[in-house]
Structure 1
Amino acid sequence: MSRILYRLGHHTAAHPWRTIFAWLAVVMVAFGLANAVGGTTRDDYDIPDARAQAGIEQLRAHLPDGGGASAQVVVHDREGDPLSAADLDGLVQRLGALDHVSSVSPPRLSADTATALVTVSYDVPVTDPDVVGTNGYQPLEDAVAPLRDAGLQAELGGELPGGAESQMKGTGELAGVLAALALLVIAFGSVVAAGLPLLVALMGLAVGSAGVTLLAATMDVSTAAPTVATMVGLGVGIDYALLIVTRHVEFLGQGHDRREAAGRALETAGRAVVFASLTVLISLLGLRLGGLPVYSTFGYATAIAVVSVLAAALTLVPALCGLAGRRLMPRRARTAEGAGALRVQRTPLTARWAARVVRRPVAFGLAALVFLLFLAAPVLGMRTWPQDGSSASPETSQRKAYDLIDTEFGPGANGPFTVVVDATRADPQAIADQVAGHPGIAGVTTPMLTPDGALGVFDAEPSTGPADERTSELVTALRADLPEGVEVTGTTPLFADISGMLSERLWLVVGFVVSVSVLLLAMMFRSVVVPVKAAVMNLLSITASYGVLTAVFQWGWGGSLLGIDHAVAVSSWIPILNFAILFGLSMDYEVFLLSRIREFWLRTGDATASVERGLAATGRVISSAAAIMVVVFLGFSTEADTVVKQLGFGMAVAIVLDATVVRMVLVPATMTLLGRWNWWLPAWLDRLLPTIEAERHGADEPRTEREPDRVGA
């Protein structure tokens, strides 16, 4: 691979315009295909392994137009006056005339008759193109417009409006890109060098976006998958380009011409980038084990983005570096070089920091470990729950509707259960009476038979809200008490099932991703200790980020800074998704750092000095890359959708911890203490493992005559 990458870098730098025009052609073809045969994203909320799904399937089979989407319309008189029956009748008629509406419930009035709740049922699921997004939301807005014109408050809540109001706005994404550009200018001291990684990342991301559209033509791709793919693709794309550009500038500073510098940069840093991206792809593959179709689409879409930005980094970066020449170097360096001036080299900050950590590894290592454990402590009380109206932004109609229902009708009215009774096995009325007398149930509706008489269906309203932990316990208790042939379903029971399933599946995903990543690192670095230590530290930093996420969102510590006005549970989607993405990204930095440490180790055989030199050589680029990724992720945390907000914030926190506490303190401290044992590998395992090198050693310095003896070989 070294020879291939060297030739690729040398050739593209020698013929930059060919590469640039080839990429422009690829982008145009990709977008042309996406427009011609691409599909549209669509969520799949069917969960085959969820207990609540059985009841949904029964409704679909026996009740015409059953199992479809739903919405809630809340009408409120701000002065507290009774609502007009004529206004409510007109609302019901307008709602009933909407496309795909199968039924509209009679208005449910509050005790003072100043508030009315109307439930709208559809004959298609919420993921149907006819009702998804604004297609279903705008007709509801039009239906309540006359009431708003009359001075009444009319809010839209429930399943369908919630999906429409949680769509991305893109402002945070743009802010992240601009902040990344500013950081790149500071890091390189050159506008040309700063713009190059960002341009490469955006070019690769453009192809990746078209690829996701083509993927949507072959399978259901979640509407949130492009957001996750963009978030990760943009971050790693800038990182990969940044690493290669940094090595290219180093080789230029050593006196190599632009073609040779590009070839050597791709031969060294390019190898690290290839295998770093492989660790990301392995982590994304673990999402398939999450048990939900939506996770698979997250993995596929993000993998397409990662592969696209990787291809851009390996081809466009050397081409643009060859085109830019020495303009990539800071102006002061170019001026001093041209004048032949003698410059006094000041020891870089990262080198001084590395020397300090290596001198006192025990103190620094213990301090870092205690700090991470302190941040991780809140995770012991973390509770997960899928997003609902209670966690929406206060400015949204969904949240206003939720609060009105909670105040006027009780918290359980926001998430009633649907009880499905097999009429051949149990008496629906007897079951309704049993459920009504169950602790935690505020009331039930009169059972109704399906047209074929096979099922009895009624709603049961809990006395607690959907996100309340007691509600999930109530679902479990009802299922345990009710006889065979009775299913408790609906949005809230389905969410409870999802939360439990994902909590159990998390450990399967963790086990797979960690095992495969450790094996890959063992092949790359010919060590048992290094990959195991890397996995443990990555898990530690990710767990610490979960702890911060719990404190901010679930405990409400500083949540107002992120637009959260009250404490909310951590989204059930976050733990598995964040882990799979963050473990791969953390391994990126691990590969970048360890590849240089191992390079120096193989040259000198000095374990301690290798750690110090490796950290000094990579500390700046890792810190810069991490800072860029953090601002990109924080940009996404400004979105209104709570899941995206938690995803962006949690990933930003994890990257900060990983690039500072772990990569700059804990890794060098532990590697200094372990010394030569870092590279211990049993002889029998050495013979079994294929050899994969993260970088070709000696690209910029000659090797010593003999490599150090491997410990344990």
Structure 2
Amino acid sequence: MSRILHRLGYATAAHPWRTICAWIALVVIAFGLAGAFGGTTRDDYDVPDARAQVGVDQLRAHVPDGGGATAQVVVHDREGDPLAGADLDALVERLAALDHVSVVSPPRLSADGDTALVSLAYDAPVTEPDLVGAKGYDPLEQAIEPLREAGIQAELGGELPGGAESQMTGTGELAGIIAALVLLVVAFGSVVAAGLPLAIALTGLGVGTAGVTLLAATMDVSTAAPTVATMVGLGVGIDYALLLVNRHVEFLRQGLDKREAAARAMATAGRSVVFASLTVLISLMGLKLGGLAVYATFGYATAIAVVSVLAAALTLVPALCGLAGGRLLPRKVRKGAAARVAKTPLTARWARRVTRRPVAFGLAALVFLLFLAAPVLGMRTWPQDGSSASPDTSQRKAYDLIADEYGAGANGPFTFVVETGTADAAAVAAQVAATDGVEVVGTPFTSPDGELAIFDMEPTYGPSDERTSELLSDLRAEMPEGVEITGTTPIFADISGMLSERLWLVVGFVVSVSVLLLAMMFRSVVVPIKAAAMNLLSIAASYGVLVAIFQWGWGGSVLGIDHAVAVSSWIPILNFAILFGLSMDYEVFLLSRIREDWLRTGDATGSVERGLAATGRVISSAAAIMVVVFLGFSTEADTVVKQLGLGMAIAIVLDATVVRMVLVPSTMTLLGRWNWWIPAWLDRLLPAIRAEVDETDAIWAELDTTDARADDDKVGV
């Protein structure tokens, strides 16, 4: 691989315009194919393994237009006056005339008459293209607009409006990109060098976006998958390009010409980038074990983005570095003003301090991470609903109005589906009404074919209240055969339970495969296990911070969260799979340099200091950039995106500071030569993979410039 990467780096740096034109052509072709053959993203909310899905399938089979999307319209007079019947009748007529609306309930007036609740049922699921986003939301807005013009408050809640209002605005992405550019300028001291990683990441991400569009033509790809792919692709793309550019600049400072500097950067740092991306891809593939189709599409879409930015980094970095030449160096270096005696890097001084007192530093870091992780023991997960929406959204206003006027349970009714040949619907309804925690029970009605009897029930508590899930479990245990309980809240409860169970399957797969890959890279048993344990600890700490901010409400107002909300059920598995791969990126970057120094010198402590000194600055810069990218996403209105972005930013901060700067050097110092222990039988069994080749390695005797010049036209760039 080193020979291939060396020649690739030399050829692309020697002929940069060939590479640039090839990428321009690739971008044009990718977007042309996406435009001609690409599909549109579409969610699949069916959960085959969820018990509530049984009831949904029964409704679809026996009730015309049953099992479709739902929505709620809440009308409220702010002055407290009774609502006019004529206004409500006109509203019902407008709603009934909307496309795909199959049933509009009569207005349900509150006790004082100043509020009315109208429920809608659609003949298609919320994932139907005609109902997704603005296509389903705008007609509802138009239907309630006459009431608003008359000075009456009218809000939209429920399933369909909730999905539409959670769409991304894109402001978080833009903010993250701008902040990343500023940090790159500070890190390199050169606008040209700063712009390269960002330009390369965006180019690769553009091709990846086209790839996701083509993927959507072959399978259902979640509407949220491009967001996750963009978030991760942008972060790792900048990281990979940053590492390569940094190594290229190091070789330029040593006096190498721009082509040889690019070639050696590829043969050294390029190997780390390749194998680091493998750890990310392994983690992403673990998402498929989450048990939901949406997780699989997250993994596929993000993998496409990662592969695209990796390809861009491996080809465009040496090409653009070759084109930029000496302009990558800071101006003071180009003018010869940097001939002063170099100071010892801050990271080297820090590593020396930690290695002198490894026990104290290691214990302090461990206690700190455990302290942050402690709240995770009380973490409760729940999919997003109206109660967790931003206070300025119509969905949240509707939720609060319904809770105030009809009780919190009216926001999440249960639907009972009774097989008429097996159970008596009237007796079941009476039994449900006598159960503690049940507020309202509707009158059963029979399906047209007479096979099912259906009625709704409103619990006393809101959908996200833990007591509601307990009530669901109790009712299911008490119901006779032939009765199923479904609805949005029961489905959410089933999803939450499923994902909690599946988390450990995903963790086991990702950790075991990653440990195996690291063992092949570093010929060690201790290093991979220790790396996995530290990554798990930093991820657990980030979960603990999320619990404190969102579930406990500590500082949530800064993020636009006005009350405590549960951690989204989607977050633990999704964050784990992404974060474990990203953390392993930094582990590969750091340990590859430490191991090369260890093999060359045999100095266990000194190799830690020198390895951290060589990579600490670039890892810190890369982590800082990824943090601001993720924090940009936490500014979005959607609570799930907030938790996703903030959780990943916190984990990266902890990983790049507490773990890489304290735990790694302290534990490696304490373990000494044991870091690199591996049983002889396992060493013979495992394939050998070197994560990075040191510039002083004998390989440079084989990879001379003459061969590269002779072969650069054969590379095909």
Determine whether 1:157 maps to 2:157: yes
Distance 2:257 2:438 in 1: 77
Determine whether 1:692 maps to 2:689: yes
DSSP-derived class of the 2:335 partner: helix
Determine whether 1:346 maps to 2:346: no
Q: Which residue of 1 aligns with 2:710?
A: none
> TM-score if structure 1 supplies the norm length?
0.98
Distance 1:324 1:282 in 2: 35
Contact 1:336 1:343 in 2 (8 A): no
Distance 1:237 1:646 in 2: 22
Amino acid in structure 1 at the alignment position of 2:118: V
Q: Which residue of 2 aligns with 1:93?
A: 93
Q: Which residue of 2 aligns with 1:370?
A: 367
Amino acid in structure 1 at the alignment position of 2:128: D
Q: Which residue of 2 aligns with 1:127?
A: 127
Contact 2:9 2:266 in 1 (8 A): yes
Q: Which residue of 1 aligns with 2:144?
A: 144
Contact 1:611 1:672 in 2 (8 A): yes
Distance 1:436 1:345 in 2: 79
Contact 1:268 1:699 in 2 (8 A): no
Q: Which residue of 2 aligns with 1:357?
A: 354
Determine whether 1:640 maps to 2:633: no
Q: Which residue of 2 aligns with 1:411?
A: 408
Percentage identity across aligned positions? 81
Q: Which residue of 2 aligns with 1:54?
A: 54
Q: Which residue of 2 aligns with 1:706?
A: none
Contact 2:593 2:615 in 1 (8 A): yes
Distance 1:360 1:245 in 2: 34
- Displacement of 1:330 in angstroms is 1.1
User: Map of 1:173-572 to 2, 5 A cutoff?
Assistant: 173-336=173-336, 342-572=339-569
Q: Which residue of 2 aligns with 1:31?
A: 31
Distance 1:106 1:207 in 2: 50
- Displacement of 1:358 in angstroms is 1.1
Q: Which residue of 2 aligns with 1:116?
A: 116
Contact 2:348 2:612 in 1 (8 A): yes
Distance 1:683 1:4 in 2: 30
- Displacement of 1:32 in angstroms is 0.4
Determine whether 1:606 maps to 2:603: yes
Distance 2:687 2:403 in 1: 61
Distance 2:542 2:151 in 1: 46
1:54-105 superposed Cα distances (whole Å, 9 cap, x missing partner): 0000000000000000000000000000000000000001000100000000
Classify 1:604/1:443 alpha carbon distance in 2 versus 1 (closer, same or farther; 3 Å): same
- Displacement of 1:700 in angstroms is 7.3
Distance 1:401 1:325 in 2: 59
Distance 1:663 1:360 in 2: 16
Distance 1:59 1:311 in 2: 48
- Displacement of 1:346 in angstroms is 1.1
- Displacement of 1:295 in angstroms is 0.1
* Runs of 5+ consecutive residues of structure 1 not aligned to the other structure: 704-713
Q: Which residue of 1 aligns with 2:6?
A: 6
Contact 1:247 1:265 in 2 (8 A): yes
Determine whether 1:586 maps to 2:583: yes
* Runs of 5+ consecutive residues of structure 2 not aligned to the other structure: 701-717
Amino acid in structure 2 at the alignment position of 1:174: L
- Displacement of 1:696 in angstroms is 1.3
Segments ≥4 residues shifted beyond 3 Å: 698-703
- Displacement of 1:702 in angstroms is 9.5
Determine whether 1:618 maps to 2:637: no
Classify 1:208/1:699 alpha carbon distance in 2 versus 1 (closer, same or farther; 3 Å): farther
Distance 1:264 1:702 in 2: 11
Distance 1:414 1:372 in 2: 38
Amino acid in structure 1 at the alignment position of 2:693: R
1:431-462 superposed Cα distances (whole Å, 9 cap, x missing partner): 11111111110011100000000000000100
- Displacement of 1:572 in angstroms is 0.1
> TM-score if structure 2 supplies the norm length?
0.97
- Displacement of 1:701 in angstroms is 9.1
Distance 1:565 1:33 in 2: 45
- Displacement of 1:359 in angstroms is 1.0
RMSD value, Cα: 1.1
Amino acid in structure 1 at the alignment position of 2:124: V
1:451-488 superposed Cα distances (whole Å, 9 cap, x missing partner): 00000000010000000000001110000000110001
- Displacement of 1:698 in angstroms is 3.7
Out of 652, 662, 665, the residue aligned to residue 662 of structure 2 is 665
Distance 2:399 2:507 in 1: 36
Contact 1:447 1:457 in 2 (8 A): yes
- Displacement of 1:697 in angstroms is 2.7
Count matched residues. 701
Distance 1:693 1:107 in 2: 69
Distance 1:698 1:9 in 2: 15
Distance 1:379 1:656 in 2: 18
Q: Which residue of 1 aligns with 2:627?
A: 630
1:400-433 superposed Cα distances (whole Å, 9 cap, x missing partner): 0000000000000000000000000011111111
- Displacement of 1:247 in angstroms is 0.5
DSSP-derived class of the 1:681 partner: coil
DSSP-derived class of the 1:40 partner: coil
1:381-407 superposed Cα distances (whole Å, 9 cap, x missing partner): 000000000000000000000000000
Amino acid in structure 2 at the alignment position of 1:104: V
Distance 2:89 2:246 in 1: 69
DSSP-derived class of the 1:336 partner: coil
Distance 2:309 2:626 in 1: 14
Contact 2:264 2:695 in 1 (8 A): no
- Displacement of 1:342 in angstroms is 3.7
- Displacement of 1:344 in angstroms is 1.3
Amino acid in structure 1 at the alignment position of 2:597: F
Distance 2:611 2:345 in 1: 13
Amino acid in structure 1 at the alignment position of 2:646: F
Contact 1:599 1:698 in 2 (8 A): no
1:127-179 superposed Cα distances (whole Å, 9 cap, x missing partner): 00011110010000010011111110000000000000000000011000000
- Displacement of 1:188 in angstroms is 0.4
Contact 1:264 1:699 in 2 (8 A): no
Q: Which residue of 2 aligns with 1:710?
A: none
